[in-house]
Structure 1
Amino acid sequence: MSVDVRVEPGRIARLLRMRGGRVERKLRERTERVARIAEAEAPGSMGRYISWDITQGPRGLEGVITCDHPAVNYVLNGTRPHLIRPRRRNGVLRFEVDGRVVFTRLVRHPGTRPNNFMARALRLGR
């Protein structure tokens, strides 16, 4: 009696990578874990703007994490010192300092350091 076993690597790879397969389930778990860490690491309310998905990329399935907050670029890359003026021509800026309400026409912002919470979440999620 003889047994003939034929292993076709292409078919095995397709089987593993197909939708709903083992690879997709593991990718989904990891992507969701990294997204939850990013939500926790994000400053202020920015975590509420984080979403994730599994998509078909050029090299197979990919886990994609997105932050749609309007200021995410400034947080990730930081800002240089800059002036802040009111939007309206004769308007004023209103904010609180040590519990006191302050009104002014100009703020000299010192800038912010970069806070790449997305890359940090990726490192922590491994």
Structure 2
Amino acid sequence: MSVEVRIETGRIARFLRMRGGRVERKLRERTARVARIAQQEAPGSMGRYVDWHIEEGPRGLEGVITCDHPAVHYVLNGTRPHLIRPRRRGGVLRFEVGGEVVFTRLVRHPGTRPNNFLGRALRLGR
């Protein structure tokens, strides 16, 4: 008696990567975990703008995490020192410092350090 076993690696790979398969479930779990960490690591209210989804990529399924907050570019890359002026000509800026309201025509902002909370979340979620 003889037994012949053929392993078709292409079929096994397609089976594992198909929608709803084991690989997609694990990818969903890991992507959701990294997105939760990114929401916690994001400064201020920016975490509410973090979202994730699974999509078909060139090599199969991919987990994608996005943050669509309007200032995310400045948070991730930081800013150089810069001047802030009122939008309207002759207008003033109003803000609070130490609980006191301040009015001024010019602010010399010192800049901000980069805060790559998305990269940090990816490292922590591994």
1: CA distance, partners of 2:6 / 2:69: 52
1:26 corresponds to? 26
2: CA distance, partners of 1:49 / 1:31: 16
5+ residue gaps, structure 2, are none
> C-alpha offsets along residues 80-106 of structure 1, whole Å, 9 cap, x if unaligned?
000000111111111000000000010
2: CA distance, partners of 1:38 / 1:91: 38
5+ residue gaps, structure 1, are none
Letter of the 1:54 counterpart: I
Q: Percent identity?
A: 86
2: CA distance, partners of 1:114 / 1:86: 25
2: CA distance, partners of 1:7 / 1:123: 35
Letter of the 2:32 counterpart: E
1:9 corresponds to? 9
RMSD (Å), alpha carbons: 0.6
> C-alpha offsets along residues 9-36 of structure 1, whole Å, 9 cap, x if unaligned?
0000000000000000000000000000
- SS of 2:95's partner is strand
TM-score (norm 2): 0.98
2: CA distance, partners of 1:78 / 1:29: 31
